Each structure stands twice: as C-alpha cells, then as structure tokens.
Amino acid sequence: MALPASRFQAALRLAGRSWTRPCLAPLRTGASWRAFSASSRWQLHTKEMHEELLSSLKVNQSRLMEDIHYTCQWGTGQKWGKEETETGMSRLALSDADKEARDWFVQTTKALGCHTTVDSMGNIFAIRPGIRNDGPPTFVGSHLDTQPSGGRYDGILGVAAGVEMLKVLADNWVETEYPVGVVNWTNEEGARFPISIVSSGVWAGAIPQETAHNLREVHPGTATMASELARIGYLGETPASFNNMPMAAHFELHIEQGPLLEMANKKIGVVKGVQAYKWLTVNVKGRDTHTGTTDLKSRADALLAASKMVIHSHRLATANGCLASTGILNLKPGSTNTVPGEVSFSLDIRAQKDHTVARMLQHIENDFPKIAAGEDILNSNQDCTKGLPCSITINQDFDSPATLFHPDCIEAVSRAAHSVLGENSKNLLLEMTSGAGHDSVYTSKRCPTSMIFVPCREGVSHNPAEYCKPEDCTLGAQVLLQSVLRFDRMRDERRVTWKQEPYTL
Amino acid sequence: MALPASRFQAALRLAGRSWTRPCLAPLRTGASWRAFSASSRWQLHTKEMHEELLSSLKVNQSRLMEDIHYTCQWGTGQKWGKEETETGMSRLALSDADKEARDWFVQTTKALGCHTTVDSMGNIFAIRPGIRNDGPPTFVGSHLDTQPSGGRYDGILGVAAGVEMLKVLADNWVETEYPVGVVNWTNEEGARFPISIVSSGVWAGAIPQETAHNLREVHPGTATMASELARIGYLGETPASFNNMPMAAHFELHIEQGPLLEMANKKIGVVKGVQAYKWLTVNVKGRDTHTGTTDLKSRADALLAASKMVIHSHRLATANGCLASTGILNLKPGSTNTVPGEVSFSLDIRAQKDHTVARMLQHIENDFPKIAAGEDILNSNQDCTKGLPCSITINQDFDSPATLFHPDCIEAVSRAAHSVLGENSKNLLLEMTSGAGHDSVYTSKRCPTSMIFVPCREGVSHNPAEYCKPEDCTLGAQVLLQSVLRFDRMRDERRVTWKQEPYTL
C-alpha cells in the first residue's frame, strides 16, 4: 500500500467520498480484463479528483526499488561495490537475460489487469483500460535492454516506474478517463544491434521494418534482430506502427546521464527536447605490412591515420562547442607485427542545434580524406614521417535532428513536478535539453511527448557504477505518475488526441 | 629431375665417375630408413665433389612452386588477383589447416627417406642421414603457419625449399657427410598465440615450455597452445630442447618482407643478423560514460589518450630513426554512444641497435603516463579540451636483443650465392640485417645460423598480395641448397659442431 492510510482517508473525506480499503490480495497472473467501468461506486475517477487528492496518490519507494533490483537478476554485470545491488548490468537486447526481463514485464502487467500486445519489433505495450476507451492510451515508456557494461537505472527505472504507476492505480482503485499504458521498447541502446532507438523508430515509421529486422548484431555474432526476436518468442504479429498502436502521449522518466542536475543541486529535470546527433562509420584503408621490415615512409598505416582523425574530431568539437566521440574501433588484421591495413570506427556527433551538427559533418567530410591522404590538418603531421596515402569512406548510419517536445506534455510534467516538490519546487527544478537520444525522440514525431530527468551520481552512465539514489528514483516516479494523471485530465480540454488520425508534428 | 642430364653427366665425367641414371620412381610413403652408407658405388659424396659438380646440383623450379601452391590449399585466404594462386593465406598456427599442412610435411619427408620427430612444442624435425651420423644434422628451417591475412611465401617458401633440397639430394643420389634436416617451427608468427617465434624459443631454452603451453589464443578464443597441440595430434613426446635435438647449423630462406632488395635491384640478401625489438602491451583506463550527456571536460576518454600515444610513439620513432607500430587495439565496452573506459594496444619497437630500443622504451615509459594524465607532450593537447585523467600500465611481453649470425654460416651463404649468381654476383648480392624476427634468432643462440633473403614485390608482407617471383624463389632455394652442401663440407675443417655439448654463443 503506497499511501499512509490516514492521509489518504483525509483526502477522500475532502473529496466527499467514503473509504473502504480495497482487497489488496495480489491479482492472479493472467487475470481476466478488469471491468473498471462496472466497478463499485467508491472508485476514484481522475477527472473528479481535486488537486490535494490527486497529489496524495504516491508511489511506494521500497516496492519500486525492489522491482528495479529484482529485474536486475537477469543480466547482472560487473560488481563495483560491496552490496548485492552494487553491480552493473549487461543485458543486451533480445538476449536470454532480456527475454527473462520481458517475461517478468508481461506477467506483472497482466497481473495488474493490463492487455498486453507484442508488436513485430518486440515492443511490448501493456494497456490499462480507462472509463472511456474511444481514445488511445497515455503511455509511459522506456527500455529494459542495457549497454554491455551498463548500469541498473538507464531505461530500467523508466519501465519500473511505469509498472509502479500501474500498482498505485490498482492499489487505490483509480480509474483514469482514458486508458493508460506502459511500453518496453526493443534495443533502445543500439549496443547489440547497431541502430539505437530502432524499434520506436520503426513504430514511428522513420525506420523501415526490413532494415531493423535485418540488423546484424555487432562483431563477432551473426544473429539478426528478426532471428533473435523469433528465437526468444517476441516476434509479435501486430505490425510495429503508430497506426496499430496509437498513443495519446508518451512520458519517459530517465536518469539524466550527465552531471547538470547533480552539480546544480536540482532534483527534477523538465526535459523540453533532445539535442541533434548523427552517427557515422569511418573506414580507413591502408596496407597490411610487416612492422619490422617496412620503414615508416613505406607504410600506409590505417591506425595512425585513424588516430589522427579521432583527435581531429575532438579538436573540431572543442572548436564548435559540441561533442564528438568514438566508441567503437576495429582494425584488421590485428597482429602485433603487422601494420593494420584497415580500421573502421564510429563517430557520434552531437550539438544543441542542427546547424552545428551539419557544420561538424562538413568539416569531417572535408578534413578526414585529407588526413588519410597524408595532408597536414591543424598540425596533425607535426614530427611525423610522411607515409603512403590511405583511402577513406564515411557513411552516415543515423541522423536524429534536434527534437522539441510538446508544450502540453511539458506543462503536465512541470505542474506535476511543482506539486511533488512542494514549496521549494522552483529551486529544485531544471528545464533542460537531453544530451542522449531516447525512444521519446521517435514518439515525439507521432504523439505529444515529454521526459522527466532525475540526477545520477557524478553524471556517470553507460557504466556499471551508474547510480541513482532511491529517493531520487521515487521522486521521478512520483512526477511521472502525476504527469500521466494530469495529462489524462487535460485531454478533453486540449483535444490533443481526440482525433483518430495519428498525431504528426 | 632437376638437372639437364647432359650438363650433369658432363659434371660427373669431370668428377671421374660413371653415371647411371638412378631409378626416379617416387619413394613409398613411410619408406624404411634408407641405408645410404651401404648404397652403391656411384653415389655422390658431398666431400668428394669439386666446385663445378657441386654447383650443378639444382633445384627444380616448377616442382618447388608446385609444392608451395599445393600446400596453400590448406588455409587459403583472400583473393587479390585473377589466377588461382593469386590468393593470400590465413593458416593460423595449430588450426585444422595447419594440421593438414603438417601432415603433408611429415608424409613428404618420410617418403624422401627422412626420420621425422615431433617435439613437445609440435616442432617437426625431418632428418636425412649422412655418411657419418655421429654429429648433429645441418638444418634448414622455417614455418608453415601464417598471419590471419598473410601471403603464400612468408615461412612457406623456407619449408618448401627445404623439402626441395631433400628431393634434389634424393634425385641425384647425393650423400652428405653428416645428416641434413628440415624443421617446421610451430607458431612462428605469434598471430594466434601471442608470442612470436615461441617454439624455437622453447627449443633454445629461452622461453619456459610451461609459458608457451599455457599461451591462450588471441581474443575471442579460449584454447591454449597445449590444448591445440593435443587436439590436432602434434603434442610430441620428445621434450622441445636443443639437448634432445641438437643442430650443427640452421639455415633459413625467407622473403625479405621489406623493399630494400627490390629497390636496389638485388637478388639475394646475405643476412648477417636481426634487428633488436621489444613488444609492449599498453593498457589505458579511463571511465565509460555516455557520449551524449558527458561534456568533453568531464570525460576520461581512454581512446583519445591511446590515439595520442599511438601518434607519439610514431613521432619518437621518427626522431630516433627506428620503428614503432601498433598492430592490435581493443577497447571496452565498444558501443557507439559510450566513451571507451578502457583501451589496450600493442606496441612493437625495433631498431638496429639495442641501445636505440632501450632509449625508445625509456621515452615511452616517461611520456605515456603523462599523456594519460592529460599533460601536453610535444603539443599533443593542441586545440583539445582538457578532460579527466586516465591511468596506464605498460607491460613488456617480449624482448629480442639484436642478433648477430655466425661467420661460418654467413660465409657458406655468401659462397653459395656467388656460385649461384655467377659472374655478376657482386651486383646481385646485398649484405643486410633482418627487420623481422625469425626462428633463426633463437637457433642462433644454440648453433651457428644464417639466413638468405629474396626480394618480394614492393616489400609487401603480412598481406594477402605478398608475392615473390618463381625465379626468385628458385634462386633462393638454390642458394639454400648450396649453403647446406658447402657447410657440410666445412664442418670437419672448422670443427664447428663436433662437440657433443650444445653450441652457445
């Protein structure tokens, strides 16, 4: 039970309702569809709740944290502290561990009375009916997959907070005006199948399903997304599309993954958009030659050229006040006494503005071939021996323009945050732009969307030691719950999602 | 038959011998030990041959090339030209393909009347008895394993030329004074099990057998040398040691693997020694963080630091007139949107002189930790953002001081080369130092040793397109054969290997 009974009953009295504590025996797994619209007279309707009653609906911190850590038994990663929960996560998308976490999600949401649908990208939509079911659900969404050396909060917090929302609504017999739902998106990280937020991308019609299905897992595996979806039993029959699974809105709670909230002593980030980014793959071709017999000037050393490019991209990012990062680098043939003839590396460019990313790309497309050819760019050849030229190709794998979230969703989050944070809320809130991409980038193209950030320790993420305090997880989940309830109440008024046609920005 | 019969018969007449062409039917596989000392009167004894007769013993070019290409059916690599033989090789040590090539070597040398011994490192010694067998054999040796993207000549030419030597001796019923042999050394490349020339190292007593047996194959495999030797049936019972398999001398024919011979229009390199080299592994530790949310100054980017080190080692090599090369680089966790928290890379340093290698090591041990910590070394931080420090460890995996070959062996090669190259020999010979390490480095510690180099196209090696002209392969094999015969004649005179104790430099 999430609420201190006394406070909740007081709120009920204010609402002019009598209170009988509902039966809290756990629902059976696979319970039949709960007929909310035929439930007894004391059920709470979101639209009828006044502010104090609404605010008194609260998530249960210990239950939320238990869910997070319980699901982290599947894909447990590297240990970083003494406590049992002080380990990272390594739950690659569509792995056996991911299947276990998915099974938990399906069973848990079904037990809470949800209809659960799996689409052709393995996205799982759990929908809790509303009083009216003639409009699409308001969704909470995130992902259960992690980086190979990720943490326990990135994605997992958002899904667990969605499940906690369902539990709070069930505990308190709350009926929403429209259905609400929780979605687990597939392969958000792009760590195993190398396009991130790929399955919300297919849902949004931005990425062809065939492209996604044919994505091969990163070296050295050979499986594809389609083969792994089928193998673990999550290749659903419903085509992945906003047409088949429309959303009234999409709210996502996430750790910030950066240091700004913590540094500013803030508790909640009201996320107004996501920075622009592009992912490139750069292939440098030189010539394999023997390290002992090939003098420096007779070498076409692909790694030496690639090293200059990695540094050059960092210099360009410094000059343009944006980000450039190489997270993957593979070389061939890979032998101590052979000069590498081929290097392929990733380049991730991000900036607040689309035009900054475009300018970075222009510099890279202009300068990298020159570096490969042996020309000096910004002193890149200082004190070096001029060798033989390498050739180069640059492919753009992914492009996500700057995203602006929807004012109605931002307003719902903002109101919820002020309510949750209380009197000092102004000092605890930060309006911000997300540095990372999230599935909300794609949902925002088809329905009103916003995000909620909570601080994580030292801004560290994609690291086993990623950490978010239980009280911060709870605050975030509380803002998420309140945002969804507030949005549910706003829907008729704003007519945001009445129309049957899919929402387009 | 290698010789034009008319020329050979003329030579025989000069030697005062009658000539009956011996039966050239191929010897049966597994033929019993040939009792050479009891053979018929017209057999040729090396010690009795005069210069012209000796010189008239010639390798058969088409047979030599057939053997090379026949054995390249096992482990065929990347295609680079139109012809069937225009492919590289990928025959990693102790792979199934290596086993097939070994089986061929054992069967072929046995069929030529050799005793074949496999030692505990899988080194295969094929010995053809001499008239006297109270001294150790004069060996020809090289290796049948290749780089993952290697060519058809590195190592393979040396073994095939050894086999061709046995065939020429058999064809012409030549009896050597002392036994002669051919050895195939295991894992010369160090490409699969990451110590090169490891098995001649064990033989020489320079590397403990346990170290070699426990060597694990490079990422991502888990096999060890011992497990793979056992698996393919080449874990011999004879302990790998110069005590159990003493050598009177070791001659090795090899492609140059560099451009000097070709550039100077020379045909034969008389190799007087091998340059010094050290292999290091450098581990850089930073912190995994999200590429989109971590600003440049909050990063401990292990790849950015490693890139600066790769370039710095190249600058140091340029300044010191020597070589520095990185052939392996692995990073973790390996995801486009995670700044790598860990990078490990190889560093191969080579120079003519030991003190140059020592000076390079000193610079590296001094400068790399500073680069990791974020200090500027030779402008390495120009236009960069100062980030968080990384830590570093540097391990020395392998050290091979400069090697000087034995004057008697160098003399035998030099005399043989002058004889084979004829009147213009002075212009076709080059005395040189090997840039690459070879098993001859280790044999030289236990017996007189020298090497013969032949040019390869554009100096390219460790590359599928590695190429040595058939006529150059033949010239090299001819010099090899003549060197062994000349050394056999020199042995009593010089008393180089009479002593039973192992030879030590």
| Calpha distance A162→A484 (Å, rounded) | 10
Helix (H) or strand (E) holding A309: helix A302-320
Q: Which residue has the tokens 């069973």?
A: A107
Task: Calculate mean pLDDT across residues A474-486.
Answer: 98
Domains of chain B: 59-275+423-494 (3.40.630.10), 276-400 (3.30.70.360)
Count chain A–chain B contacts defined by CB atoms under 8 A: 274
Task: Calculate mean pLDDT across residues B325-332.
Answer: 97
Nearest CA in chain A to B397: A336
Instruction: Confirm if B412 and B486 have CB atoms less than 8 A apart.
Output: yes
Percentage of the residues of chain A whose pLDDT score is greater than 90:
80
Interchain contact, B331 vs A331, CB within 8 Å: no
Nearest to B114 by CA among B179, B54, B70: B179
Nearest CA in chain A to B291: A325
Interchain contact, A335 vs B294, CB within 8 Å: no
* Alpha-carbon separation of residue B492 from B90, B135, B369 (angstroms): 43, 10, 56
Instruction: Confirm if A152 and A85 have CB atoms less than 8 A apart.
Output: yes
| Calpha distance B12→B29 (Å, rounded) | 30
Interchain contact, B318 vs A291, CB within 8 Å: no
Helix (H) or strand (E) holding A452: strand A449-454
What's the pLDDT at A44?
83
For the cut 90, the answer to whether the pLDDT of residue B32 exceeds it is no
For the cut 80, the answer to whether the pLDDT of residue B496 exceeds it is no
Nearest to B387 by CA among A314, A27, A491, A171: A314
Instruction: Confirm if A460 and A104 have CB atoms less than 8 A apart.
Output: no
Parallel/antiparallel/unpaired status of strands A138-143 and A249-255:
parallel
Task: Calculate mean pLDDT across residues A196-208.
Answer: 96
- B57-98 pLDDT, tens digit per residue, is 999 999 999 999 999 999 999 999 999 999 999 999 999 999
Residues 194-213 of A with CB under 8 A from B: 194, 196
- A399-410 pLDDT, tens digit per residue, is 989 999 999 999
A230 contact B CB<8A: no
Q: Which residues, other chains included, contact B53 with Cβ-Cβ below 8 Å and sequence gap of 6+?
A: B11, B12, B14, B15, B44
| Calpha distance B215→B121 (Å, rounded) | 12
| Calpha distance A145→A189 (Å, rounded) | 7
- A51-94 pLDDT, tens digit per residue, is 889 999 999 999 999 999 999 999 999 999 999 999 999 999 99
Task: Give the pLDDT band of residue B495 (cuts 50, 70, 90).
Answer: low
| Calpha distance A154→A141 (Å, rounded) | 12
Burial degree of B50 (CB within 10 A; 0-12, 13-18, 19+): exposed
Instruction: Confirm if A410 and A449 have CB atoms less than 8 A apart.
Output: no
Task: Calculate mean pLDDT across residues A86-114.
Answer: 97
For the cut 60, the answer to whether the pLDDT of residue A31 exceeds it is no
Distance, C-alpha A125 to centroid of its chain: 15
* Alpha-carbon separation of residue B214 from A60, A244, B144, B242, B396 (angstroms): 54, 58, 21, 21, 18
Instruction: Confirm if A276 and B421 have CB atoms less than 8 A apart.
Output: no
Interchain contact, B331 vs A328, CB within 8 Å: yes
Task: Calculate mean pLDDT across residues B99-119.
Answer: 98
| Calpha distance B294→B301 (Å, rounded) | 11
Chain B interface mutation, best of A153, A198, A260, A288, highest count of B Cβ atoms under 10 Å: A288
| Most confident segment among A34-48, A281-295, B491-505 | A281-295
Question: Following DSSP, what letter does each residue of B52-116 receive, concatenated?
Answer: HHHHT----HHHHHHHHHHHTTTTEEEE-SSSTT-EEE---TTSHHHHHHHHHHHHHHHHTT-EE
- A208-232 pLDDT, tens digit per residue, is 999 999 999 987 788 999 999 999 9
Nearest to B160 by CA among B181, B144, B137, B138: B144
Phi–psi pair at A496, nearest 5 degrees: -65, -40
Distance, C-alpha B395 to centroid of its chain: 25
A277 contact B CB<8A: yes
In Å, how far is A95's CA from the nearest CA of chain B? 16
From A291, A307, A462, residue closest to B325, measured CB to CB = A291
For the cut 80, the answer to whether the pLDDT of residue A11 exceeds it is no
pTM for this structure? Answer: 0.74
What's the pLDDT at A303?
98
For chain A, helix, strand, coil in percent to 5 are: 35, 20, 45
Q: For chain B, what is the radius of gyration of the CA atoms?
A: 25
Nearest CA in chain B to A319: B383
Evaluate the omega torsion of the peptide bond into residue A455 and state whether it is cis, within 30 degrees of 0. Answer: no
- The mean of the pLDDT values for chain B is 90
Interchain contact, B189 vs A335, CB within 8 Å: yes
From A327, A378, A460, residue closest to B291, measured CB to CB = A327
Chain B interface mutation, best of A196, A218, A278, A335, highest count of B Cβ atoms under 10 Å: A335
What residues are paired with A349 via a beta bridge?
A278, A324
What's the pLDDT at B17?
43
- Please tell me which residue, A98 or B21, carries the higher pLDDT value: A98
B326 contact A CB<8A: yes
For the cut 60, the answer to whether the pLDDT of residue B8 exceeds it is no
Percentage of the residues of chain A whose pLDDT score is greater than 70:
90
Nearest to B68 by CA among B91, B90, B92, B85: B85
Question: Following DSSP, what letter does each residue of A78-147 receive, concatenated?
Answer: EE-SSSTT-EEE---TTSHHHHHHHHHHHHHHHHTT-EEEEBTT--EEEEE--S--SSPPEEEEEES---
Interchain contact, B329 vs A331, CB within 8 Å: yes
Q: Which residues, other chains included, contact B322 with Cβ-Cβ below 8 Å and sequence gap of 6+?
A: B349, B350, B351, B352, B356, B357, B360
Is the torsion defined by CA of A465, A470, A475, A476 positive or negative? positive
What's the pLDDT at B227?
98
Task: Calculate mean pLDDT across residues A284-292.
Answer: 93
From B317, B327, B333, residue closest to A337, measured CB to CB = B327
Task: Calculate mean pLDDT across residues A307-326.
Answer: 98
Instruction: Confirm if B340 and B303 have CB atoms less than 8 A apart.
Output: yes
Nearest to A420 by CA among A487, A357, A464, A483: A483
Interchain contact, B310 vs A314, CB within 8 Å: no
Chain B residues closer than 8 Å to A189 by CB: 335, 337
Task: Give the pLDDT band of residue B492 (cuts 50, 70, 90).
Answer: confident
Task: Give the pLDDT band of residue A398 (cuts 50, 70, 90).
Answer: confident
* Alpha-carbon separation of residue B88 from A299, B96, B191, B246 (angstroms): 19, 17, 15, 34
- B371-426 pLDDT, tens digit per residue, is 999 999 999 999 999 999 999 999 999 898 999 999 999 999 999 999 999 999 99
- Please tell me which residue, A4 or A490, carries the higher pLDDT value: A490
| Calpha distance A308→A328 (Å, rounded) | 15
What's the pLDDT at A10?
45
Task: Calculate mean pLDDT across residues A134-149.
Answer: 96
Evaluate the omega torsion of the peptide bond into residue A333 and state whether it is cis, within 30 degrees of 0. Answer: yes
Task: Please calculate the CA angle B466-B468-B474 and round it to the nearest 5 degrees.
Answer: 150
For chain B, helix, strand, coil in percent to 5 are: 35, 20, 45
Q: For chain A, what is the radius of gyration of the CA atoms?
A: 25
Task: Calculate mean pLDDT across residues B436-449.
Answer: 95
| Calpha distance B326→B54 (Å, rounded) | 46
Nearest CA in chain B to A341: B463
Instruction: Confirm if A274 and A437 have CB atoms less than 8 A apart.
Output: yes
A186 contact B CB<8A: no
Q: How many CA atoms lie within 13 A of B6 on its CB side?
A: 0
Written as six digits, the tokens of B302 are 């292990």
A341 contact B CB<8A: yes
B358 contact A CB<8A: no
What's the pLDDT at B100?
98
Residues 370-429 of A with CB under 8 A from B: 378-379, 382-385
Phi–psi pair at A400, nearest 5 degrees: -125, 100
In Å, how far is A170's CA from the nearest CA of chain B? 36
What's the pLDDT at B42?
55
Nearest CA in chain A to B436: A292
What's the pLDDT at B494?
74
Task: Calculate mean pLDDT across residues B477-494.
Answer: 93
- A437-462 pLDDT, tens digit per residue, is 999 999 999 999 999 999 999 998 88
A339 contact B CB<8A: yes
Written as six digits, the tokens of A131 are 């009083």
| Calpha distance A381→B37 (Å, rounded) | 66
Phi–psi pair at B249, nearest 5 degrees: -165, 165
What's the pLDDT at B50?
87
Nearest CA in chain B to A340: B327
Nearest to B113 by CA among B41, B22, B35: B35
From B277, B291, B336, residue closest to A292, measured CB to CB = B277
- Single-letter code of the amino acid located at B504: T
Runs of H (alpha helix) within B301-454: 302-320, 354-373, 407-421, 425-428, 439-443
